Amino acid sequence: MTHIKNLSHKQKRPFQPAKLSKPRNFILPEIIANKQKSRCPLVVEIGAGKGMHALSFAKQNPDKHLIAIERTRNKFDAFFKMTQTQQLPNLTAVHADAIAWIVQAIGPNSLTRIYLLYPNPEQHNSNQQWLNMPFFEFLISRLQIGGEIILATNIEEYMDNAEQQADALWCLPAIRQEVPVNSQRTHFEIKYLARKEKCWQLTMTKPEGYQTRFDEWQAS
Ligand SMILES: C[S@@+](CC[C@H](N)C(=O)[O-])C[C@H]1O[C@@H](n2cnc3c(N)ncnc32)[C@H](O)[C@@H]1O
């Protein structure tokens, strides 16, 4: 791990990627292993559920490659089944815990965008919120300069905390917006908006010169 004096954020406790073991049956996807292919913009979705957003994103963005990760077996199976019925060479569906998988597979400064759509942790466990985790520093290190992290939630306290942490802890420029009522990106989004609940989105951008402890860190 690089020790940098001028970290761009204020997170004290460092994430420890070397302590995580490789996910079971780990295979490096072709899009990452093949240096030619990996020139195309790479996007990651964490917690893809049954893959509704992943499938439509891949269809609408043939020039980008999406890696969509889901750890719950039955959701992943439903997602994977859908990928088998469609010709989407720019979509990789991964069944894994996203933290261990990203540590293993994604190099620094590689991603143009990261989606975290309706993560819904246990309400009372704020440690499970992505912006409260030391791992978030590692996630930022995987983004290219100008790359975005897009978080959506229907939980107002989650959004309030994320907005505050993006600014005060991670020092990332962020824009908070309400999700339009006719948006239909994911199964959870459709469900919440149909119940007339408000949903929010936070778009965080990695600025020029941003430094983390993991800017050179790559799994061996
Ligand atoms: C509330 S669901 C939302 C699914 C989908 N994004 C949607 O909006 O319909 C949250 C999903 O994130 C997945 N998830 C949570 N933490 C994860 C992790 N560390 N790695 C992979 N998937 C994760 C859960 O298994 C669950 O399917």
Task: Band the pLDDT of 4: cuts 50, 70, 90.
Answer: low
Asked if pLDDT for residue 1 goes beyond 70, the answer is no
Q: Where are the domains of the chain?
A: 42-205
35-49, 88-102, 181-195: which range is least confident on average?
35-49
pLDDT exceeding 70 applies to what percent of the chain?
A: 97
Look at residues 130, 137, 191 and name the one whose alpha carbon lies nearest to residue 161: 130
Distance CA 81, CA 32 (A): 23
Residue 7 Cα to ligand 1 midpoint, Å, equals 30
Please, which residues have CB within 8 angstroms of residue 58's CB and are 6 or more apart in sequence? 66, 88, 90, 91
Distance CA 141, CA 182 (A): 34
Q: What is the mean pLDDT of residues 1-23?
A: 88
User: Could you tell me if residue 168 is left (phi over 0), alpha (psi between -120 and 50 degrees) or otherwise beta?
Assistant: alpha
- Tell me, what's the pLDDT at 17? 97
Residue 117 Cα to ligand 1 midpoint, Å, equals 8
Cα 71 to Cα 19, 45, 128, distances in angstroms: 20, 12, 15
Residue 112 Cα to ligand 1 midpoint, Å, equals 20
Q: Which residues line ligand 1 (CB under 6 A)?
A: 46-49, 69-72, 75, 97-99, 117-120, 186-189
Could you tell me if 141 and 71 are in contact, meaning their C-beta atoms sit under 8 angstroms apart?
no
Task: Band the pLDDT of 3: cuts 50, 70, 90.
Answer: low
Cα 5 to Cα 9, 24, 92, 135, 159, distances in angstroms: 11, 36, 37, 19, 30
Task: Band the pLDDT of 36: cuts 50, 70, 90.
Answer: low
Q: What is the mean pLDDT of residues 39-51?
A: 96
Distance CA 39, CA 217 (A): 20
160-186 pLDDT, tens per residue? 999 999 999 999 999 999 999 999 999
Strands 42-46 and 65-70 come out as parallel
Return the sign of the alpha-carbon dihedral for residues 53, 59, 61, 64: positive
Residue 69 Cα to ligand 1 midpoint, Å, equals 8
CATH topology for 42-205 is: Rossmann fold (3.40.50)
